[in-house]
Amino acid sequence: MKVIETALEGVVILEPELHRDARGYFFESYSRQLFDKSVRPVRFVQDNESRSSYGVLRGLHFQRGEHAQGKLVRVVEGAVLDVAVDIRRGSPTFGRYVAVELSGENHRQLFIPRGFAHGFAVLSPRALFQYKCDAPYAPQSEGAIAWNDPQIGIDWRLDPADVLLSEKDSRHPRLDEAPELFDYNTDYYAQR
């Protein structure tokens, strides 16, 4: 497995080692031993899957405070632009984002630690998206930032007219209006 650093410390791209033969391919989509050694020790507690069609944009989501979630995300089928935004107040990279294309072809995964908002946009006719979370779903602690916050300025590689949002995702605050974010000096991994 190759670990590629990004412009945001702690957000890393993982490229699993693919074993191809006459039958097709094989790869370890998650190895706790490898992940903990190469990235950071994490206890994943929930696996999720969503299917979306072209233009669907989910995000930018996070869970607040003690319910903060780290996520290891990948695409099984199709292609998405996956985005992580640093929303830790006081961070030298506060408000900056990384965007990585994840697809069923490139098998890339992105690890988004606690303290970041996450979202993705579907670039292919359909996408099957799977991810692991290191804290359980806590709907009362859901937080979100507007996908089109001009200060963050994410290029989603979609025509805005094609963007399909949930009702909820169409009315999130901008980063500078968001009530509760993270604090750079708090270690959200020390608590649990």
Ligand X SMILES: Cc1cn([C@H]2C[C@H](O)[C@@H](COP(=O)(O)OP(=O)(O)O[C@H]3O[C@@H](C)C(=O)[C@@H](O)[C@H]3O)O2)c(=O)[nH]c1=O
Q: Which is nearer to ligand X, 21 or 49 (CB)?
A: 49
Is residue 37 left, alpha or beta, with left meaning phi > 0 and alpha meaning psi from -120 to 50? alpha
Binding residue for ligand X, selected from 48, 151, 170, 191, defined by CB under 6 A: 48
Is 172 one of the catalytic residues? no
Please work out the total of residues on this chain that contact ligand X, with binding judged by CB under 6 A: 11
Please report whether residue 137 would count as binding ligand X according to CB under 6 A.
Answer: yes
Can you spell out the DSSP letters for 3-51? EEE-SSTT-EEEEPPPEEETTEEE--S--HHHHHHHT------EEEEEE
The alpha carbon of 50 is separated from its chain's Cα centroid by a whole number of angstroms, namely 13
Q: CA dihedral in degrees (96, 43, 37, 184; nearest 10)?
A: 30
Please report whether residue 132 would count as binding ligand X according to CB under 6 A.
Answer: no
Please report whether residue 172 would count as binding ligand X according to CB under 6 A.
Answer: no
Cα(6)–Cα(19) distance, integer angstroms: 26
Please report whether residue 166 would count as binding ligand X according to CB under 6 A.
Answer: yes
Q: Which is nearer to ligand X, 16 or 59 (CB)?
A: 59
117 touches 84 (CB < 8 A): yes
Strand partners of residue 64 = none
- The residue count of the chain comes to 192
Please report whether residue 170 would count as binding ligand X according to CB under 6 A.
Answer: no
Please report whether residue 61 would count as binding ligand X according to CB under 6 A.
Answer: yes
Please report whether residue 59 would count as binding ligand X according to CB under 6 A.
Answer: yes
- Give the active site residue among 67, 118, 131, 172: 131
Binding mask 69-88 for ligand X (x = CB under 6 A): --x-----------------
Residues that bind ligand X (CB under 6 A): 48, 50, 58-59, 61, 71, 118-120, 137, 166
